[in-house]
Copies of this chain bind each other. A is one copy, B any other.
Amino acid sequence: MKVLVISDILEEKHRELIRETAEKVGATLGFCENEDSVPKDFEDANIIYGQAKRLAATSRSLEWLCASFAGVDSFVKPGAFANENCILTNSAGAYGVGISEHIIAVSLMMMRRITEFYLETTAGEWKRPRPQKSLKDSSIVALGTGDIGCNFARRARAFEPSALYGVCRSGRCSEPAFDEVFPVGKLDEVLPKAELLVMSLPSTPETVGILSRERINLLPDGAYVVNVGRGTAIDEDAIADALESGKLAGAALDVFNTEPLPKESRLWHTKNLLITPHVAGNLTVAYTVQRNVEMFCEDLLNYAAGKPLLHRVDKSLGY
């Protein structure tokens, strides 16, 4: 069994954990920084951890790809794997901590207008305070109640919102930080309660365009929207219109239909839009990379023992 680890971010302690685990299961182990530097004798690896689009699409030896990221939409498309039976796992569960910090940060930046104050002081201007809003006593809706949505909910709860609702496919979520969790079929009834709407959805046929122009209009006037899932979930032209008209007080987008966001996109110039370049789920956060490696090692033991993998992606669902 040949195991290849592709990453330019692991520290020695992470490599050591992988080495120990590979030794336990009797696997041959190779490391490289990216897909361009794969050692020749690992081109036919049976197991790969990391980002390996080329090898997935070409290698018939690949039996299991462990993605070091959570959003695997490009790997559930036809032709993504040369070996159609290749198992795909992802790292959903490692990013909730970091991404939920991003959500809290950008929500507060918008509601407290730190976006404006910061640009002003950076330009050497000390201006008078202006009205600010607060997470306290706000009504919050998390669209997506996976690892990200639940980590966000636990942190948001400490800010004493007036209400904190979740929305997910099934409507079932055991996270006690939510006041109530609704099935996505009730989304249109929940949106009018979303003074802050936080979206952390995978890209699937069901989520593409889910925040449509019509649904944006269901939000309360002056609402805020945060998206850290996939850009495909939002009608970008509609959200730009809603920001320009003042229907929305602000939006913070970390993900976009096309990334990097094209130079010609109107979003670059849209009022009250906080753009970050897909950095909410940065793998460099110590907890995230540690958990990421641990999850791979857990499943490497499972794989060697012929047990089901804990973090397997259902390719038909897309997550």
Contacts and interface: CB of A to CB of B under 8 A. Distances in A.
**How many copies of the polypeptide does the oligomer hold?**
2
A124 B268 contact: yes
Contact of A154 (B137, B158, B277): B158
B132 A277 contact: no
A284 B111 CA distance: 12
A97 B136 contact: yes
A285 B134 CA distance: 6
Interface stretch (A30-38, A114-122, A308-316): A114-122
Q: Give the interface residue-count category, chain A.
A: 35 or more
Nearest to A109: B105
A102 interface: yes
A282 B104 contact: no
Nearest to A153: B158
A132 B276 contact: no
Nearest to A279: B129
A106 interface: yes
A232 B123 CA distance: 24
Contact of A158 (B130, B155, B268): B155
A101 interface: yes
Contacts of A134: 97-98, 101, 285-288
Given A114-B109, A136-B101, A126 B260 contact: yes
Interface in A16-42: none
Given A126-B260, A155-B158, A277-B121, A105 B108 contact: yes
A275 to B, nearest CB: 4
A264 to B, nearest CB: 11
A277 B127 contact: yes
A247 interface: no
12 contacts: A101-B134, A101-B159, A102-B112, A105-B109, A113-B279, A119-B119, A121-B275, A121-B276, A127-B277, A129-B277, A130-B284, A131-B284
Please provide the 7 A-B residue pairs with the shortest distance between their CB atoms, ordered closest to farther. A105-B108, A158-B158, A126-B260, A121-B275, A131-B284, A126-B277, A155-B158
